[in-house]
């Protein structure tokens, strides 16, 4: 058999193999063997140069036809392989819409997380930005810049967890309240300021209504001409939205916090005449809700704000207490015991994000 016949035979075999190539790689391999750089037909074509005119007339069209036949067979098979791959993918990714839905998610949202989200949603609606601070706080921010200098008797009220003093002599504490976020905000930002700071707080304290780790929310507004009237309106709006009632009645009591002057504590009118139930807006009982006051001018100055030009109010209360009141939870300790039965009973559906429009706690 001549060299030409042998190569032609190889090309014919390739033309037979192409329609059954199993994948793109095998197909490409066959194409290269026929019409690649060193393919059988490429070699045939290169022989044309040394042939006589007669031979060239005879073989030329045949070799060119080889190229055309291989190219069109490869392209046909390529299309078929692509279609087969798509069909296989469609079959494997098919969704059976008649199958039952996935089981309900089993995790629940902790009542404290729920109330933190509710508080944030309400204050966001009133135009307050959310501010944060660290749990391990400078003694200076937790106390001194809040007008509680070292040795001030008010430090005793806080039952503080102190952190070992640093090598440079600086003192840190586990923050005893969210009020240092006021300091952090005022040091960074100039008025107008309107923030809410929810977060974790710590005190050496433990009984049915006190936990060593608990949560507070803090509000701060600083601007020109801010008064106690503004504070009362904000708190009324907040408690109406939080307890989901149309009206509330707040009672102001004089109080003392070193960082506010005057200081006011707020009670909410409620009805506890039915055992185990509490109603807001009616009744003859009063429920302690929040500490507050006008930001002390000395605190404003220590935080770089001119007290002659600006005034502000601040308030703060317990988040865990709010959760206990709103959801009828009698003891604070199980909040942090991770008992799954308790969590299931008092937890909230994971996908119900509280919003004022969609409902806070439904
Ligand atoms: C303060 O902590 C002030 N920083 C609040 C404040 C802010 C006043 C801004 C003025 C301006 P007080 O120590 O009263 O205040 O604590 C506030 C609330 O935290 C309490 O009413 C209570 O609801 C909650 N709380 C305090 N200690 C605990 C505790 N150990 N466990 C749970 N809740 C607590």
> What per-residue confidence (pLDDT) applies to 220?
98
- Distance, in Å, from the CA atom of 198 to the CA atom of 252, rounded to the nearest integer, reads 23
| Among candidate residues 21, 151, 14, 5, the one with its CA nearest the CA of residue 84 | 21
pLDDT digits (tens, 9 = 90+) for 6-17: 999 999 999 999
Model-level pTM?
Answer: 0.72
Quick one: what percent of the chain has pLDDT higher than 90? 69
How much is the average pLDDT of 164-169?
Answer: 89
- SS3 letters across 298-328: HHHHHCCCCCCCCEEEEEEEEHHHHHHHHHC
SS3 88: helix
Name the pLDDT band for 362 (thresholds 50, 70, 90).
low
Reported as a single tens digit per residue, the pLDDT across 190-210 is 999 999 999 999 999 888 889
Q: What's the 49 CA to ligand 1 centre distance in angstroms?
A: 99
CA of 317 to the centre of ligand 1 (A): 5
Among protein residues, the one whose CA lies closest to atom 19 of ligand 1: 318
What integer pLDDT is reported at residue 282 of this predicted model?
Answer: 83
Q: How confident is the model at residue 1 (pLDDT cuts 50, 70, 90)?
A: low
* Residue 300: predicted pLDDT: 98
Ligand 1 neighbourhood includes 142 CB (under 6 angstroms): no
Position 115 confidence tier, pLDDT thresholds 50, 70, 90? very high
Nearest ligand 1 atom to alpha carbon 206? 30
Q: What does the buried/exposed string (b/e) look like for 97-124 if buried means 16 or more CB atoms within 10 Å of the residue's CB?
A: eeeeeeeeeeebbbbbebbbbbbbbbbe
Q: Which atom of ligand 1 is nearest to the CA of 318?
A: 23
Kindly report the protein residue whose alpha carbon is nearest to atom 32 of ligand 1. 210
State mean pLDDT over 351-357: 72
CA of 291 from ligand 1 middle (Å) equals 7
Q: What is the pLDDT of residues 257-306, one digit of tens each?
A: 999 999 999 999 988 888 777 788 888 889 888 999 999 999 999 999 99
Of 214, 221, 314, 322, the residue with max ligand 1 atoms within 8 A of its CB, to mutate for a pocket test, comes to: 214
């Amino acid at each position: 058999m001549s060299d030409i016949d042998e190569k032609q035979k190889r090309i014919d075999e390739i033309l037979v193999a192409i329609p059954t190539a199993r994948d793109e790689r095998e197909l490409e391999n066959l194409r290269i063997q026929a019409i690649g750089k060193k393919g059988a037909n490429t070699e045939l074509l290169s022989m044309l140069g040394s042939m006589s005119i007669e031979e060239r007339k005879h073989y030329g069209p045949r070799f060119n036809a080889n190229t055309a036949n291989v190219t069109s067979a490869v392209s046909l098979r390529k299309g078929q392989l692509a279609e087969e791959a798509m069909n296989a993918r469609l079959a494997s990714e098919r969704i059976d819409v008649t199958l039952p839905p996935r089981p309900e998610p089993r995790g629940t949202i902790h009542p404290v997380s729920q109330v933190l989200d509710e508080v944030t949603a309400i204050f966001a609606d009133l135009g307050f930005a959310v501010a944060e601070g660290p749990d391990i706080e400078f003694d200076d921010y937790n106390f001194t810049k809040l007008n509680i200098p070292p040795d001030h008797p008010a430090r005793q009220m806080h039952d503080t967890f102190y952190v070992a003093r640093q090598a440079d002599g600086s003192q840190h504490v586990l923050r005893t309240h969210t009020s240092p976020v006021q300091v952090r905000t005022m040091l960074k930002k100039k008025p107008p300021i309107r923030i809410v700071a929810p977060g974790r707080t710590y005190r050496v304290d433990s009984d049915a209504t006190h936990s060593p780790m608990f949560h507070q929310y803090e509000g701060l507004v600083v601007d020109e001409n801010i008064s106690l009237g503004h504070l009362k309106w904000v708190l009324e709006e907040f408690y109406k939205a939080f307890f989901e009632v149309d009206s509330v009645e707040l009672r102001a009591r004089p109080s003392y916090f070193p960082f506010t002057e005057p200081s006011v504590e707020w009670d909410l009118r409620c009805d506890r005449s039915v055992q185990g139930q509490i109603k807001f807006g009616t009744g003859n009982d009063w429920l302690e809700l929040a500490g507050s006051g006008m930001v002390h001018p000395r605190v404003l100055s220590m935080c770089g704000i001119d007290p002659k030009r600006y005034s502000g109010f601040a308030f703060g209360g317990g988040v865990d207490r709010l959760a206990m009141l709103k959801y009828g939870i009698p003891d604070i300790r199980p909040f942090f015991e991770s008992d799954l039965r308790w969590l299931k009973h008092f937890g909230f559906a994971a996908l119900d994000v509280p919003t004022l429009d969609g409902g806070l706690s439904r």
